[in-house]
Amino acid sequence: QKEVEQDPGPLSVPEGAIVSLNCTYSNSAFQYFMWYRQYSRKGPELLMYTYSSGNKEDGRFTAQVDKSSKYISLFIRDSQPSDSATYLCAMSEGGTYKYIFGTGTRLKVLA
């Protein structure tokens, strides 16, 4: 079983839709959870981070962590064509600097 799994997509949605992106993981010691957006041939851009369980909201983005299910989600409300990118989840254990990334989900928002 891979340490972090993400559906590669592509996920195509119409403009204005609510997008749900997910990652599952196997390491119960993960405590820090991040979401990045990556445009083609660019560096990942940090969108949100959460520590342990719970929800966090920032503008159109909401991150959720369910540690009991080892499942994290990123919701994007009112999606825009400019949101079209690859979305990466990343996570790490509390006492380490090593971050494990998912393979990314490619999102296409159609105008």
Partner 1 sequence: EPEVTQTPSHQVTQMGQEVILRCVPISNHLYFYWYRQILGQKVEFLVSFYNNEISEKSEIFDDQFSVERPDGSNFTLKIRSTKLEDSAMYFCAFGREKYEQYFGPGTRLTVT
**Single residue of 9, 13, 101, 106 touching partner 1 by CB under 8 A:** 101
User: For residue 38, which phi and psi values (nearest 5 degrees)?
Assistant: -130, 120
- Grouping H, G, I as helix, E, B as strand and the rest as coil, residue 53 is coil
Burial class (CB in 10 A: 0-12, 13-18, 19+), 51: exposed
The yes or no reply on residue 5 touching partner 1 (CB under 8 A) is no
Q: What is the DSSP letter of 54?
A: E
**Which region, judged by CB under 8 A, interacts with partner 1, from 9-17, 20-28, 66-74, 92-100?**
92-100
Least distance CB 77 / partner 1 (angstroms): 21
Determine, following the binding rule CB under 8 A, whether residue 61 of this chain makes contact with partner 1.
Answer: no
**How many residues of this chain bind partner 1 (CB under 8 A)?**
23
CB 34 within 8 A of CB 84: no
Residues near partner 1 (CB under 8 A)? 32, 34, 36, 41-46, 49, 51, 88, 90, 92, 96-104
